[in-house]
Amino acid sequence: MAGNASRSAAAVWAILRKECRTEWRTRWGLNAALLFAVTTLTAVSFAVGRMPDRPDVLSALLWIVLLFGALSSLAHAFVREVEGHTLTLLRLVASPLEIATGKFLFNVVFLLVIEAVTVPLFLALMGAPPPRWGTFIAVLLLGTLGLAASGTLTGALISQTRGRGALFAAVSLPLLLPVLAAAVSGTRAQWSGLDPGAPLNLLAAYALGVVAIGVLLVDHLWEE
Amino acid sequence: MIARVFLLLWIAAALVAAFLWAPLVPVLGATTRVFYFHFPAALVTCLALGWSMVHSALYLRTRDLAHDDHAAASAELGLLFCVVATVSGSMWAKAMWGAYWNWDPRETSIFFLLLLYGAYLALRASLDEPVRRARLAAVYSCIAFVAVPFLVFVVPRLYFSLHPDPLLNTRGKPDMDWRIMACAGAMLIGLTATFFWMLSLRVRLGRVERRRERSKDAPAVPAGGKS
Amino acid sequence: MNGNLVVLGVALLTWGLLFTYLVRLEKRIRDLEKP
């Protein structure tokens, strides 16, 4: 029993490493996502300037930038698989759950890398007040989990259709809106001195819910 | 046929009663009457959503394409009723508060449902192969099931707490004369019956079209062959 | 009162049209279903 679990964990780790290595080889997805986020950020900063006294607008803008970066990149992990025709091979050596978990962890790492670049830039360019780091990071992390979970599942679906980027955005949007709303609310709360408890709970509950339903449905994601 | 005629008369009677017999709500004035369309349409939208999701789950459990027919048909109809509910609600909001859209909790909820229906139908449209389409659409439907409570109940309140608008806080249950409730209830029953009728037609139509497509794909099969 | 009757008339007419459409559609489907 323990042998099974450690073998699964090894499989997930192997998939994660493979994803990271593949991505790093070309860095196409990473570059595209970073470019997208930085472009959006530049446009916003240029148009709006510094906003030290508007935590509501700042929170919204931050998460819009992050959301756009996520939308442009989350589908990529699966699309690359489909275009490389490697999914069949992968499915021969790993179970659907292992594949999905590996992809999910990759998406989390991917988003975190983008955030590591975008968030400091945002804070600096927009003249944001210093955040309450504990809460701020918590919102970022939980939001990232929610984005990655929804995006991984949607990506798995979309990669099997004819559609690509636009369809991914349309189909994943209803699933991403709760994350967006709660994350904006939480980020704003920590800047306004309000209690971030409710949004944080929401983010956690939603991420957990999506992961749970994903685990339940994972065997139906790929077939034939 | 008798049942259909009965339905025709039922809704006609409900409409007449709603416009000529039921009183107006003082706060709402003449716009009270939008309620008889808006309220049943919104409820039927939710019914359609639930029906679609249940059949999606059943499809994944049984792999019987009949469930997928129901999921798809009720999603299409649900979108239709959702548009009716959104538009009628928006017209009502304009008459009541002077703005077509306010992002108050109920408007936000119905808008999110619109997005969900649209996403589901867009996903279906991008797939040609029936079995794969059924499977992926069903998976999406089940994932959406997790998002729905958040979208319908939690997120709108979140927004509302960020933007409390004193102008809108009167939105609640206006005190309902029993005659109003009776007419609204009658319209609800009638509209639900109409929904199920349209659903059965849509499912049958889908099945018939599938049958014809299959017989078209097998032109070499002599007359004895049948799906 | 007058505007009220107009709206009622439109509503009844719309319902009548929808009903007729559905009945015709059902007939068409029934014909298609016969092998």
| Residue carrying the six token digits 């505007």 | C3
Which comes out higher in pLDDT, residue B86 or A52? Answer: B86
Task: Report yes or no on B23 lying in a domain.
Answer: no
Task: Report yes or no on B191 lying in a domain.
Answer: yes
**CB of C11 within 8 Å of any CB in chain B?**
yes
Which comes out higher in pLDDT, residue A123 or B220? Answer: A123
Residues B183/B14, Cβ–Cβ less than 8 Å: yes
Residues B47/B195, Cβ–Cβ less than 8 Å: yes
pTM as predicted: 0.86
B 160-199: CB under 8 A from A = 162
Task: Report yes or no on B13 lying in a domain.
Answer: no
The answer to ipTM > 0.85 is yes
Above 90 in pLDDT, residue B224? no
Task: Report yes or no on B24 lying in a domain.
Answer: no
Number of domains in chain B: 1
Q: Which of C15, C16, C29 sits opposite B201 (nearest CB)?
A: C29
pLDDT tens by residue, B154-172? 777 776 666 655 444 444 5
Q: What is the structure's pLDDT at A200?
A: 93
A187: nearest Cα among A52, A44, A49, A62: A62
Q: What is the structure's pLDDT at B140?
A: 95
pLDDT tens by residue, B9-38? 999 999 999 998 888 877 777 788 888 999
* Domain edges within chain A: 2-221
Q: Give one DSSP letter per residue of B124-157, joined into a string.
A: HHT--SHHHHHHHHHHHHHHHHHHHHIIIIIHHH
Residues of chain A with pLDDT under 50: none
pLDDT band, very low/low/confident/very high, at B223 (cuts 50, 70, 90):
low
Task: Report yes or no on B196 lying in a domain.
Answer: yes
**CB of B143 within 8 Å of any CB in chain A?**
yes
| Residue carrying the six token digits 């780790």 | A13
Cα-based distances in Å from A164 to A84, A156, B137, B225: 15, 11, 16, 39
Can you say how many angstroms the Cα of residue A193 is from the centroid of all Cα atoms in its chain?
A: 27
pLDDT tens by residue, A37-62? 888 889 988 888 888 888 889 999 99
Residues B207/B69, Cβ–Cβ less than 8 Å: yes
Rounded CA-CA distance A151/B30 in Å is 47
* Other CB atoms within 10 A of residue B39 CB: 18
Q: What is the structure's pLDDT at B162?
A: 61
Cα-based distances in Å from B134 to A161, A178, B107: 12, 26, 30
Q: Give one DSSP letter per residue of C7-35, joined into a string.
A: HHHHHHHHHHHHHHHHHHHHHHHHHHH--
Above 70 in pLDDT, residue B227? no
H or E segment to which residue A2 belongs: helix A2-26
Q: Which of B119, B159, B162 sits opposite A171 (nearest CB)?
A: B119
Q: Which of B115, B136, B159 sits opposite A181 (nearest CB)?
A: B159
Q: What is the mean pLDDT of chain B?
A: 85
Give the pair of three-digit tokens for residue A161: 């259709």
- Mean pLDDT, residues B143-158 taken together: 84
Task: Report yes or no on B4 lying in a domain.
Answer: no
Domain hosting residue B131, numbered range: 31-164+176-207
Task: Report yes or no on B9 lying in a domain.
Answer: no
Q: Which residues contact B87 (CB under 8 A, 6 or more apart)?
A: none
Task: Report yes or no on B155 lying in a domain.
Answer: yes
